[in-house]
Amino acid sequence: MEKRSEKLLKLLNELNVDGIFLTDLYNLRYFAGFTGTTGVALATKKGNFFYSDFRYRSQAEAQVSKMGFEFKEVSRGSLKYVGEHAEELGLKKIGFEDNNVTFATYQKLKEIFKAELVPVGEKIMYERMVKSDEEILMIKKAIEISDIAFSEALKVIKEGVSERELSAYMEYVQKKNGAEDKSFNTILASGVRSAMPHGVASDKKIQKEEFITMDFGAYYNGYVSDMTRTVYYGNNITERHKEIYNLVLEAQILGINTIKEGMMSDDVDKVVRNFLTEKGYGEYFGHGLGHGIGVEIHELPYLSSVSHIELKENMVVTSEPGLYFDGWGGVRIEDDVVVKKDGREVLNKSNKKLIIIEA
């Protein structure tokens, strides 16, 4: 864990600043070990400090001291003391998380810090991309929990069960098996709704002869899993359903097999996009191929045209192509994948071959 304060020191030097002010809860969890919801931190060359109110004193003291931060108690919502402390430390240039800070908070920071504010941009996110073995173990555990939830969900799919009921059951199974929480709102979309890539569970009831897409995940010890499976419910599957499913599966495996150290993140996306385009389905694949996961459900690097990052060993990314047809339905399949020097390791164990649940 101590390596993380080294990462902060490296950032201080790279950005040429005297301090970095942390407000984002994911960064606070990652760098300072804090799992509560109220607190801010200041990383400096003279030491690292975490500020929160009396409600978090014992929790924060225990958590942040392990990560090399000193706990400072402040009154609730008070940033004034942080400003005064920064002045005492003689900080002239302070980095702030411009991607996470609201304009109102920025105005407040300008008020409290008698220092030049320097945006840290995505640099701080780069520090979270390569995972330690310990982090990968947490992600694996989260994935094991989601794999269980998927196999349990298959047993309760039947006509008349609502998407919301099914998603609640999956979230319950995850918690029962050790998850702190779901890692995002479960996407459960059946029938024509499966054409919606982000079709969060609705009151729609499962019907015969339709696809059911389940995109869900668990938080375990601060780390996420993210998986998608699409199954067919009914007795009369059409050739079109089979064709679309198997095409997405082929694309998903191609995505996985393209992942390895040294590949550029946008090139992995391009390989799969070109494959689906050649098959005549490029226009029905409207989102990026995947993204990094860690303490947050969407992290760098993104396997998409918007992110040009070289893949490195121990990054964890998803491969999740999908094809969506309005008024008909869609298919998405997703696994979490660790980048290796000479290839990759797929962490999900759930079956990916077309599952047909008979009505």
pLDDT tens-digit map of 282-330: 999 999 999 999 999 999 999 999 999 999 999 999 999 999 999 999 9
If DSSP codes are grouped into helix, strand and coil, which group holds residue 265?
helix
Q: 291: burial class by Cβ within 10 Å (0-12, 13-18, 19+)?
A: buried
Q: What is the pLDDT of residue 93?
A: 97
Question: Would you say residue 77 has pLDDT above 80?
Answer: no
Q: What is the pLDDT of residue 56?
A: 87
| Pairing of β 218-220 and β 181-182 | antiparallel
Go through 75-91 and write b for each residue having 16 or more CB atoms within 10 A of its CB, e for each that does not. Answer: eeeebeebbebbeebeb
pTM: predicted TM-score of the whole model, two decimal places: 0.94
Confidence of residue 60 (pLDDT cuts 50, 70, 90): very high
Give the model confidence (pLDDT) of 88-138 as tens digits.
Answer: 999 999 999 999 999 999 999 999 999 999 999 999 999 999 999 999 999
CATH of domain 4-127: 3.40.350.10
- Joined together, the tokens standing for residue 156 give 């309760």
- Angstrom distances, CA of residue 347 to CA of 166, 168, 291: 24, 24, 15
Q: What is the pLDDT of residue 182?
A: 96
Question: Would you say residue 3 has pLDDT above 80?
Answer: no
Dist CA 185 CA 195 (whole Å): 17
- Joined together, the tokens standing for residue 311 give 């893949």
Question: Would you say residue 1 has pLDDT above 70?
Answer: no
Domain 133-357: top CATH class? alpha beta
- State the average pLDDT over residues 242-266: 98
- Joined together, the tokens standing for residue 238 give 């059409």
Phi and psi, residue 160, nearest 5°: 95, -15
The number of helices, as runs of H, and strands, as runs of E, in the chain is 10, 20
Q: What is the pLDDT of residue 80?
A: 86
Q: What is the pLDDT of residue 2?
A: 52
Q: Domain limits of the chain?
A: 4-127, 133-357
Confidence of residue 79 (pLDDT cuts 50, 70, 90): confident
Residues in the chain: 359
Question: Strand order in 335-340's β-sheet?
Answer: 299-303, 290-292, 316-319, 335-340, 343-346
* Closest C-alpha to 82, from 4, 17, 73, 99: 73
